[in-house]
Amino acid sequence: MVTAPATRQQRRVLGASCSTHFVHDGFTDLVTLLLPLWQAEFGLSLTQVGAISSTYSGAMTIGQLPAGLASERWGERRILVLGMALAGFGFCLLGFAGSALGLAAALALAGLGGSTQHPLNSTIVARAYEDGPRRAALGIYNFSGDLGKMAVPGLAALALGSLDWRVVTTGYGAIGIVAAMGILILLRILAAGGRPSAQLPTSTDDVPALKLGDWGIRQRRGFVLLSATSMIDGACRAAFMTFLPFLLIGKGADIQTVGFALVLVFAGGAAGKLVCGLIAERLGIVRTAVLTELATGAGILLLLPLSLTADLILLPLVGLALNGTSSVLYASVAEFVAPERHGRGFGLFMTLTIGAWAISPTIFGVLSDLNGVPHTLAIVGIFALTTVPLALALSGPLAAVSDSRSG
């Protein structure tokens, strides 16, 4: 089936969603850069490092479903802006943390704010492109997040050459609060310019009444397989990104080199999400996901014996594979959930994915303390390969959904 080209209004909605995603993912991966500094300053074990990382992701997990439900009552726009402001405030508080407990508390607050980002923005974009190139649009949306991941840690690493990390976190938190206000103004302008099906609802009058237990999942087996694949993929990505800085530091990297390495990973990831989203429109989700997961496992394993210089050369390719899967999985949620329940469907999907993401750093932190970071990352690489049979099993449910639409 040939999809219609995107309209001007669709592109504007996509642009607003991409802007918030850019800032939000900058928050997330600034944490990755700062983990080695926090370990050194507060004398943390790798288990404690993993637990601090898990605190941020765990708070995002807890907030996913409430954010989706709250948006049905008060509208995506209000909840999205409130969440962005809360995340910015949490990062401002990081600058005043005097202990590991203070770090965890500030990150928990920021994570709760960040929990509004993915389910609500995903809903906004999916609804906007209901009759357009939806998977490509969601690929672009994911790409914007990787631009934030790439830009923020790189600039922060440069700033850390002359500024204390507390100044950096407080400054970026303030940027997040300002961005929330700017997005609020932009979305109000879009709302005033006419409201097609892509528009954001702003009150309960704009959405149908839903029962609390009704998730709108119209193909349960497909949704379960999709979620399981995404959970393993997310757990592997979280563990890899949490402990990659420590692998590189063990090979002689300083914090600026670590920041540069993260830029390389996220540059590859940005390309991977955009390219794989477009490729999936032609080859399909299954073949695309299998290829990227095979490349992810192999890439992580290849990094371990290589030198620091060789790792830096390989990291963009690892990033491309590592993040390539998520865009096609993310876009396919809408295939298995009724349109009027996209908020809940994306919220449930992201709760499961980020839940696995949240638990993963603590578990692999324990393994890192016991066996060392290189051995732990080898386990991560092998674990990533277990997604391949799950992705292959998605063929049937996707075909069933396609047949039901054409019928």
The C-alpha atoms of residue 384 and residue 379 are separated, in whole angstroms, by 9
Strand partners, 217: 337
Q: Are 232 and 384 in contact (CB under 8 A)?
A: yes
Q: Which two tokens stand for residue 381?
A: 């690489």
Structural domain contains residue 202:
no
Burial (CB < 10 A; 0-12, 13-18, 19+), residue 11, is: middle
Diameter of the chain by CA atoms?
63
Q: What share of the chain is helix, strand, coil (3-state, %, to 5)?
A: 85, 0, 15
Write out the DSSP string of 128-197: HTTTS-HHHHHHHHHHHHHHHHHHHHHHHHHHTTTS-HHHHHHHHHHHHHHHHHHHHHHHHHHHHT---T
Structural domain contains residue 24:
yes
What's the pLDDT at 168? 94
Structural domain contains residue 156:
yes
Q: What is the DSSP letter of 204?
A: G
What's the pLDDT at 186? 66
Instruction: Name the residue range of residue 58's domain.
Output: 8-196+216-406
Structural domain contains residue 269:
yes
Tell me how far CA of residue 389 lies from CA of 116, 226, 229, in angstroms. Answer: 31, 11, 9
Structural domain contains residue 205:
no
What's the pLDDT at 326? 75
Structural domain contains residue 1:
no
What's the pLDDT at 6? 61
Q: Are 143 and 326 in contact (CB under 8 A)?
A: no
Structural domain contains residue 201:
no
Structural domain contains residue 32:
yes
Provide the CATH number for the domain around residue 146.
1.20.1250.20
What's the pLDDT at 298? 94
Q: Give the total number of structural domains in the chain.
A: 1
What's the pLDDT at 269? 80
Q: Are 398 and 285 in contact (CB under 8 A)?
A: yes
**Which ranges of 75-116 would DSSP assign to H, the alpha helix?**
76-94, 100-114
pLDDT means over runs of 10, the chain (407 residues): 61 79 86 95 95 91 78 78 91 93 95 82 75 74 80 92 94 88 70 45 43 66 90 94 96 95 89 75 82 92 96 94 78 76 75 88 96 96 93 82 62
The C-alpha atoms of residue 369 and residue 177 are separated, in whole angstroms, by 37
